[in-house]
Amino acid sequence: MRSLLILMFVVLFSGPSSGATDDWGKTGHRTMGEIATKHLSKRAAKKVSALLGGESLAFVSTYADEIRSDNTYRKYAPWHYVNFPFGGRYENTPKNKKGDIIVGIQNAIDVLKDANASQKEKEFYLRMLVHFIGDLHMPLHVGIKEDKGGNSFKVKWFGKQTNLHSIWDTKIIESYGMSYTELTNNADALNKKEIESIQSGAVTDWMYESRALCEDVYVHTNVGDNLGYKYMYRYVNVTRKQLQKAGLRLAGILNQIYG
């Protein structure tokens, strides 16, 4: 009887967490990873596969979230996001001494380019890079500290209490109802020029794109709103586009590193 009660407890309370640690959710991260895989050069695909022991970019894209609850990896927690004031500039805002998503991405790229780094180190930082390029494209990961990137911005989703961050990490994507392969296969068709245009620019340019979207989100969302179909209609294609841009840009970075 006791073990039955324990089992019931585990089943009831150990479901997927809806906390702040599920950035872009698994589906979002896997989608951008899969889109990146489709745009790797032959050389880059070979190198990536060798580093990851045959695992796919989609598969490793959630790793940085999976290790977040392990204290050994605590120092990487601030690398998932950046906060600075609306109307302000990243460059003029006092930096988080523990780092931020821009620092995280740069560190990862540096290790991947470093001829003296070990294969183990490169593997770890490749996993981190895949995840952080995803997070960079989630508008609320370029957020404001006052509400922790929307984590303490209370709203409802189809009548259920949640927060704005969670809506953008997971709810919009999950409510759309496509798997990561379906989202990948149904991404907007783009020609070579359009792809190159998306892949151009610096990591900070991509950050400011997310910031612009974040500001738009705050214009169109109020604390206590009950969000649902209308919100989906406004933002699901923005979300799909962000996942596609993230995937293309990750591929661009890896193609550049591996020539």
- Which residues form the interface with ligand ADE (CB under 6 A)? 20, 80-81, 83, 140-141, 143, 148-149, 151
Minimum separation from the CB atom of position 151 to Zn ion (A): 8
* CA count, 13 A, side-chain hemisphere, 251: 25
Minimum separation from the CB atom of position 134 to Zn ion (A): 7
Tell me the C-alpha distance between 83 and 171, whole Å.
22
Report the residue number, 45 or 82, with the smaller CB distance to Zn ion: 82
Contacts of 233 (CB under 8 A, 6+ apart): none
Report the residue number, 23 or 123, with the smaller CB distance to Zn ion: 23
Minimum separation from the CB atom of position 132 to ligand ADE (A): 12
What single-letter DSSP state applies at residue 114? -
Give the helix ranges, DSSP H, for the chain: 2-13, 25-38, 42-51, 57-60, 63-66, 101-113, 119-136, 164-166, 172-176, 180-185, 192-199, 203-219, 229-257
Minimum separation from the CB atom of position 249 to Zn ion (A): 16
- Site residues for Zn ion per CB under 5 A: 23, 80, 135, 169
Residue 183 interaction partner, one of Zn ion, ligand ADE, none, beta carbon < 5-8 Å per kind: none
Report the residue number, 41 or 162, with the smaller CB distance to ligand ADE: 162
Tell me the C-alpha distance between 134 and 141, whole Å.
10
Residue 154 interaction partner, one of ligand ADE, Zn ion, none, beta carbon < 5-8 Å per kind: none
Which uninterrupted H or E stretch holds 252? helix 229-257
Tell me the C-alpha distance between 134 and 118, whole Å.
25
Report the residue number, 20 or 64, with the smaller CB distance to ligand ADE: 20
Minimum separation from the CB atom of position 138 to Zn ion (A): 6
Residue 169 interaction partner, one of Zn ion, ligand ADE, none, beta carbon < 5-8 Å per kind: Zn ion
Report the residue number, 103 or 190, with the smaller CB distance to ligand ADE: 103
